[in-house]
Amino acid sequence: MRTRSIPFDQFTAEILRLYDPPHRATATRRQMRYVFEQVAALEVKTTADLTPVLVARFIESRPPGQSPRTLQSYLRVLRGLCNNAVINGYLRISPFALRRVSQWLGRIGPPAEKKHYSRDEIRRVLSLMAAHIEITAGWSQWRARRLYALTATVAYCGLRASEALYLHAADIRLEARYVNLTDRGRDGGRALKTDASARPVPIPDALVPILQDWLSHRLDHPADFEIPPCEWLFPTLNRKGPWTGGPPGTKPVQRLQAVAARAGVEGMTLQSLRRSLATHLEHHGTGQAMITRILRHTDSKTTLTWYQQADIPNMVQAMASFDF
């Protein structure tokens, strides 16, 4: 079959059009675009440059410490690009037809156990955050309330970090006891990870007073300090956007880790709180199908493999009364 190479930027635009919503999930398109950008950075000019040498250079260009499983997923995306180029007649033969992804990487060991925290550890962190509110005042108290409400929302609802940080106050339906997650990606807002993400998430009763307190203080400000209309549930101090960054030491995860460390809990992140909820819901008696629905995974295998962990305190408590 005759082939004709085309400019790589033209090929990029052609393929990415196939991944525009609603054809594929937002996260899938984001990963595809990332791989295209990384390949283009290696000075690939046309589709004819998609060779085994290019694959080797792509692997060598990965940052130190990157997980081999992450690299494996990127190579699979690159394999799909090369196969598409072959099918369309832009490339004579895919480099992955000569050498499989597994042959490029070698044997990959089992995934490292993901970090999760016991109920006692999470309780200690939340209690310390609540205590900070009582001993602070002014802007410091407002920040303490924000961190407490954000951490509790993720811990009790299992939201992804980006989902929680980009919530609108109107998304909280306290009377009905759920968070209304909405994909605002097509309206210029933050896109959710997958189509399955845009589903209601239940709010436990224990979270209700925390959110009620935060909602009553969310727009607190001095009388001489004007603030603009604000839709964000967890806004910046000037209320002009969501609290997603800030100077060193003031970002959400940094504030969380600083308080957690004072509670004797190292390395806590919002993602680890989501994973911890998946583990503790099972001990609470929640069925597997419901846990998957609450986390909004498209496949229960994802919940079992990557989120639910063997929690020793839970297992000890479950077996405490066992006898023959």
Q: Considering only the C-alpha atoms of the chain, give the largest distance between any 2 of them, rounded to a whole number of Å.
A: 75
Residues 269, 196, 300, 282, CA torsion sign: positive
Mean pLDDT, all residues of the chain: 88
Q: Helices 119-135 and 252-262: crossing angle, nearest 10°?
A: 100
pTM, two decimal places = 0.71
Highest mean pLDDT among 82-91, 192-201, 302-311: 82-91
Q: Has residue 188 got a pLDDT over 60?
A: no
State residue 173 phi and psi, 5-degree precision: -110, 80
Q: Has residue 22 got a pLDDT over 60?
A: yes
Pairing of strands 200-202, 178-180: antiparallel
Q: Has residue 95 got a pLDDT over 60?
A: yes
Give the single-character DSSP code of 191: P
Mean pLDDT of all residues in 173-186 = 86
Question: What tokens appear for 58 in the block?
Answer: 């792509």
> Is residue 133 within 8 Å of 255, Cβ to Cβ?
no
Looking at residue 194, its pLDDT comes to 75
| Token pair 């594929």 in the structure block, residue | 24
**pLDDT tens digits for range 229-278:** 999 999 999 999 999 988 888 999 999 999 999 999 999 999 999 988 88
Q: Has residue 26 got a pLDDT over 90?
A: no
Least confident of 53-62, 134-143, 216-225: 216-225
Q: How far apart are CA 140 and CA 14, in angstroms?
A: 50
Of 170, 156, 100, which is closest to residue 125 (Cα–Cα)? Answer: 156
Q: How far apart are CA 179 and CA 234, in angstroms?
A: 14
pLDDT band at 113 (very low <50, low <70, confident <90, very high): low
Looking at residue 186, its pLDDT comes to 60
The residue that leads in pLDDT, 310 or 86, is: 86
pLDDT band at 185 (very low <50, low <70, confident <90, very high): low
> Which residues touch 120 (CB under 8 Å, ≥6 apart)?
313
Mean pLDDT of all residues in 211-229 = 91
> Which residues touch 40 (CB under 8 Å, ≥6 apart)?
8, 9, 12
Question: Quick one: how many helices (H) and strands (E) in the chain?
Answer: 15, 3
Question: What tokens appear for 128 in the block?
Answer: 């310390």
Q: Is 229 left (phi over 0), alpha (psi -120 to 50) or beta?
A: beta
Question: What tokens appear for 41 in the block?
Answer: 């950075």
Residues 262, 266, 269, 274, CA torsion sign: negative
Least confident of 15-29, 182-196, 255-269: 182-196
Q: Is residue 173 within a helix (H) or strand (E), and if so which, with residue range?
A: strand 172-173
Domains identified in the chain and CATH numbers:
8-105 (1.10.150), 119-314 (1.10.443.10)
Highest mean pLDDT among 20-24, 137-141, 300-304, 306-310: 137-141
Looking at residue 195, its pLDDT comes to 75
Q: Has residue 29 got a pLDDT over 90?
A: no
| DSSP letters spanning 21-78 | TTSS-HHHHHHHHHHHHHHHTTT--BGGG-SHHHHHHHHHTSPTT--HHHHHHHHHHH
